[in-house]
Amino acid sequence: MSLVFQSLVLGVLMGGLYALLAAGLTLYFGVMRVVMIAHSAFLVLAAYLAWTFTVHTGLDPMLSLLVTVPLFFVLGVAVQRLLVARLRPATLTMMSVLLTFAVALVVEGMLGFVFSGTHRRIPLSYSGARLELFGASVALVKLIAFGLAVVTLVGLHVLLKVTRFGQALRATMQHREAARLLGVDTDRVAGFGFGLGLATAAVGGTALALDSTIYPSLHWHWIGPLMAIIVVGGLGSVAGAAVAALLLGVGQNLLQIPLGTTWAQTFFYAALFLTLILRPQGFFGGRLAQRF
Amino acid sequence: MRSGSETFVKAAGLVALAGLVVAFPSLASDPFVLSVGVVIISYAVLATAWNFVGGFTGYISLGHAAYSGLGGYATGLLILRADVNPWVALLLGGLVVAVFAVPVGIAALRVRGASFVIVSIALVLVLLLVFQSWESVTGGSDGLRVPRPFDADVLRPEQHQRFFHLHAVLLAVMLLCWWVIDRSRFGMGLKAIREDEDKARSLGVPTVRYKLAAFVVSAFFTALGGGLYALWFGFLDPIFQFSILVGSNMVLMSLLGGVRSLFGPLVGAVVVGYATEFFKAQYGDTQMHLVAMGVLLAVVVLFLPDGIIPAVRGLFVRLRPGQASIREVTQEELAEEVRR
C-alpha cells in the first residue's frame, strides 16, 4: 500500500514537471499552429547550460536561470521571426514539423560537438537529501523541480490572464484575424508567444537537469511523452495539457510497479492511440485540435 | 499535347538510367564504393516507398522507419525462428507489415497534419521500446543476426553486386506502380485529397478508403526495402532500425527531389545518400553529420519545398517562350477528373 502511495506522490511530482515541459508546446501550437519538435532539444540545451554554469562557477544551477530564461526568450522570438514565419500558410503545420525537426537536429549535433556524447550529471550538495511527505519518501531535487514547475505555471497563468500582453496573446490564439482587426499586432505577439514557450523550456531543462543524467540525444526520450500529453490534452490548450500531464504522470508511475520502467513508458503511447481512436480532438482540449 | 520529341527524350533518358544502374557494379571496382552504392539505392527504395503516402496524399509521415524496421525484423525472425526460405520470408514479412499497417492506418489517418506527424513519430518510439524490451524474441539491445541468403562461397563484393541489382529490381517495380497510380483514377483521388481533403470528399472521393490503401501500399514496399536491407546487412539493432532519423531521411530525400515527381525521391536519395556518406567519412566521430542534415532539411523546407526536379523543370519552362504555368495539375483539373 505504501508503495502505491509512494508512486502516487512521485507521479504527481513528475506530472507537474511534465505539465511545465508541455506548456511551451501548447503555446507554440496556440499562436502559430506549429508543432515544435525542437522543444525537447532546447530542454537538453538548457540542462547543458545549467551543468556548464555549475561546473565552472560552483554556484547553484538554479542561478543559471537568470541567464538562460532571457536568452531562450530571445532565441524563441528569433526562431519564430527568422524561420517559422517564412513558411507558406497553406502548408504551415506540416512544414513547421520538418523545420523544427531540423532545428532539433542542429541543436543535438552542436551539443554532441561541444560537449561530446559523454553522460553528464550536475554535482549537487543536496542531491542525496530526502524528505518525508505524508509517509512517502521523496528526493529533495524532485520537490525543487516540482516547485519550479508550479511557480512557472502559475506565473504563466497570471501573465496570460492579467496582463495586456496576455490578453493579446489569448486573442491571437483564439482568432488571429479578429485579433488583428482589433488592433493587435499578431506577428509581434506570435513572436513573443514563441519566446515565452522557449523560456519555459529553459526552466524545464534546468529542473530536469537537477535529477537526471544528460546527454545530447536525450531529447528523443522526451518528444514522445510530451507529444502524447498535448494530444491527449487537446492541442493548444494549456489547462488541458496540465491535466493530461498529471494523469499520465501518475498513471506511468503506478504502472511501473507491476510492469517495470521500460514497459510503463508505453503507457503514454497507449493513451495517445486510444485518444485518437475515441476522441481525436483530445479529452480536455478546445476546438482547435479538430482540423489539425 | 506532348510532342513526339519529348517522348523520345524521356524514353532515351529512361534507357540511359536503367543502363547506368545495371552497369554500376561493374564500373565500381572498389568494394567500398559498391557498398555505398547499395546503401544509396536502398535509401532510394525507402524514399520512393514513402512517396506513395507523402507524395500522393500530402500526409507527412516521419515514422516510416517503423515499417522498414518491422520488415527487417519480420524477415529475420521468420528465417531464424520459423526456418522459412529467405526470399519467401522477405515477401511474407512485407505482407505481415501490410496487415499490421491496416489498424495503424485507420487510427493515424483519422487525424490530419500535425497530429498525424505526432502519431507517426510515436509509432517508431513505441516500437523501439518494444523491440528493446522483448528480448526473448527480438534479441533486445544485443541485436539480431540475420543469416546470409547466399552460400558461403559467394564473396562480399559479389554479395554487394547481387543486392544492388535486387534493390534495383524492387525500385523498378515500385516506380512502375507509382507511375500507374499517378495516371489512374485512384491517383487522381489521392491528389485531390492532397489539395483539399474536404472538397475531395464532397466531390465523392472515398477519402478514407483511398488514404488507407495508399498507406498500406507504402508500408508494404517500405517493409520490403527494410527486409532486403536486413538480408544484405545481416544485422539488426533496434536503435538503428526504429530511428526517427531513418524516417526523416526518407522525408528529406523525397522533398529534396520533389514529392510530385516520379523520380524525385530517387534524385533526393542520390544527393542525400552521397552527402551523408561523405559527412560520415569526413566527420564520423563528431556529431557534425546531424548538423549538416538539419541544415539541409531546413534549407529544403524554407527555399525548395517543391524539390529539385520541379525547380529545374520550372527553370526550363521559363526559358521556353509561350509557357506560363509550371504546375503539373491544377486544382480545377483535379476536381474535373474526379467528377468524371
Distance from CA of B291 to the nearest CA of A (A): 4
Written as one letter, the residue type at A182 is: L
Q: Which of A108, A224, A289 sits opposite B125 (nearest CB)?
A: A224
Cβ of B118 within 8 Å of Cβ of A231? The answer is yes
Give the pLDDT score at A291.
44
- Domain layout of chain A by residue ranges: 2-290
Q: Which of B118, B123, B301 sits opposite A98 (nearest CB)?
A: B301
Cβ of B301 within 8 Å of Cβ of A265? The answer is no
φ, ψ of residue A273 in degrees (nearest 5): -65, -40
Classify strands B144-145 and B235-236 as parallel, antiparallel or unpaired: antiparallel
- Domain layout of chain B by residue ranges: 15-247
How many A/B residue pairs have CB atoms within 8 Å?
A: 141
Burial (0-12, 13-18, 19+ Cβ within 10 Å), B319: exposed
Predicted ipTM?
Answer: 0.86
Distance from CA of A40 to the nearest CA of B (A): 14
Give the pLDDT score at B285.
66
| CB atoms inside a 10 Å sphere around CB A213 | 11
Over the stretch A213-265, which tens digit does the pLDDT of each residue have? 999 888 888 888 898 898 888 777 778 888 899 999 999 888 888 888 778 88
From residue B277, give the alpha-carbon distance in Å to each of A117, B36, B339.
Answer: 21, 7, 47
| CB atoms inside a 10 Å sphere around CB A203 | 28
Torsion angle defined by CA atoms of residues A79, A83, A84 and A86, in that order, rounded to the nearest 10 degrees: 150
Q: Which of B110, B125, B287 sits opposite A269 (nearest CB)?
A: B125
B96: enclosing H helix or E strand: helix B86-108
Specify whether the CB–CB gap between B295 and A102 falls below 8 A.
Answer: yes
Q: Return the ∠ at Cα A146 (arms to A143 and A148), rounded to 5°.
A: 110
Q: Establish if A101 touches chain B: CB-CB under 8 angstroms.
A: yes
Q: What percent of chain A has pLDDT over 70?
A: 97
Over the stretch A50-83, which tens digit does the pLDDT of each residue have? 999 999 988 888 888 999 999 999 999 999 989 8
Tens digits of pLDDT across chain B (340 residues) = 456 777 888 888 888 888 888 778 777 768 888 888 899 999 999 999 999 998 899 888 988 999 999 999 999 999 988 888 989 999 999 999 999 999 989 888 888 777 788 888 889 999 998 898 888 888 777 888 888 888 777 777 788 888 999 999 999 999 999 999 999 999 999 999 888 888 888 888 888 999 999 999 999 999 999 999 999 998 899 888 898 888 988 999 998 888 888 888 999 999 888 888 888 777 766 778 888 889 988 998 888 888 888 888 877 777 766 555 545 566 656 665 555 4
All three cell numbers of B257, joined, read 527531389
Specify whether the CB–CB gap between A29 and A159 falls below 8 A.
Answer: no
Give the pLDDT score at B242.
92
Nearest to A229 by CA among A40, A37, A21: A21
From residue A59, give the alpha-carbon distance in Å to each of A210, B34, B55, B213.
Answer: 13, 55, 53, 59
Specify whether the CB–CB gap between A223 and B128 falls below 8 A.
Answer: no
| Residues in contact with A22: Cβ distance below 8 Å, sequence separation at least 6, in sequence order | A226, A229, A230, A233, A241, A242, A244, A245
DSSP bridge partners of B236: B144
All three cell numbers of B259, joined, read 514529392
Give the pLDDT score at A198.
94
Cβ of A292 within 8 Å of Cβ of B113? The answer is yes
Residue A286 has pLDDT above 60, yes or no: no
Report the C-alpha gap between A282 and A33 in whole angstroms. Answer: 16
Give the mean pLDDT of A87-116. 87
Specify whether the CB–CB gap between B255 and B309 falls below 8 A.
Answer: no
Specify whether the CB–CB gap between B238 and B131 falls below 8 A.
Answer: yes
DSSP bridge partners of A139: A130
Can you say whether the dihedral through the CA atoms of A275, A278, A281, A282 is positive or negative? negative
Across A18-22, A42-46, A127-131, B240-244, which has the greatest mean pLDDT?
A42-46
Distance from CA of B199 to the nearest CA of A (A): 14
Range list of β-strands (E), chain B: 144-145, 235-236
| CB atoms inside a 10 Å sphere around CB A34 | 27
Nearest to B334 by CA among B212, B186, B151: B186
Distance from CA of A34 to the nearest CA of B (A): 8
